[in-house]
């Protein structure tokens, strides 16, 4: 059975994000007042277990934060789909593809029923126009997060490489 398409709605209750706020690193260092403004640009959607959140090859449309549930990153190679990573409450994903303007290089699938807080590209651009200082702070935080993820990936790749001295 194909899971139903999610319905997007405004983040009507920003208070609902408070329990996971400290886990959302790209909102670090942003005052409560500015967070309240940022949350006006976010949406919420519920995805049933097995639903595709974003598909490999599609144009990215959102940055996602997991409020409830778990999401799997899946990569398909030669018709074989492999789960490469799990994302949990407070984790952010989709930011690299959305910011780089390249199509998704992986799929994201709901590993269980989940609730996602989302920032669309359109709303991110709206934030850039309407609150450039907050936009800049978000971009710096996202750049730091992506740099950490890249550093972690580099470390994993280096561990898999044969030693140059052998």
Confidence category of residue 166, pLDDT binned at 50, 70, 90: very low
- Angle between helix 132-160 and helix 32-39 axes, rounded to 10 deg: 90
- Angle between helix 121-130 and helix 132-160 axes, rounded to 10 deg: 130
pLDDT digits (tens, 9 = 90+) for 47-80: 999 999 999 999 998 999 999 999 999 988 777 7
Strand partners of residue 35: none
pTM: 0.80
How high does pLDDT run on average in the chain?
A: 84
Question: Where do the domains of the chain lie?
Answer: 9-160
Domain 9-160 is in which class?
mainly beta
Residue 119: φ, ψ to 5°: -120, 115
């Amino acid at each position: 059975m194909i899971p139903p398409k999610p319905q997007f709605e405004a983040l009507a209750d920003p208070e609902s994000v408070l329990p996971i706020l400290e886990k959302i690193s790209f909102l670090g260092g942003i005052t409560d007042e500015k967070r309240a403004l940022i949350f006006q640009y976010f949406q919420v959607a519920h995805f049933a277990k097995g639903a595709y959140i974003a598909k490999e090859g599609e144009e990215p449309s959102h940055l996602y934060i997991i409020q409830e549930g778990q999401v799997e990153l899946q990569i398909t190679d030669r018709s074989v789909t492999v789960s490469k990573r799990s994302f949990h409450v407070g984790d952010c994903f989709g930011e690299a593809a959305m910011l780089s303007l390249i199509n998704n290089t992986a799929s994201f699938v709901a590993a269980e029923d989940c609730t996602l807080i989302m920032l669309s590209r359109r709303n991110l651009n709206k934030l850039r126009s309407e609150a450039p200082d907050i936009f800049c702070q978000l971009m710096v935080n996202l750049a730091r997060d992506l740099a950490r993820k890249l550093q972690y990936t580099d470390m994993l790749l280096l561990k898999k490489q044969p030693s140059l001295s052998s």
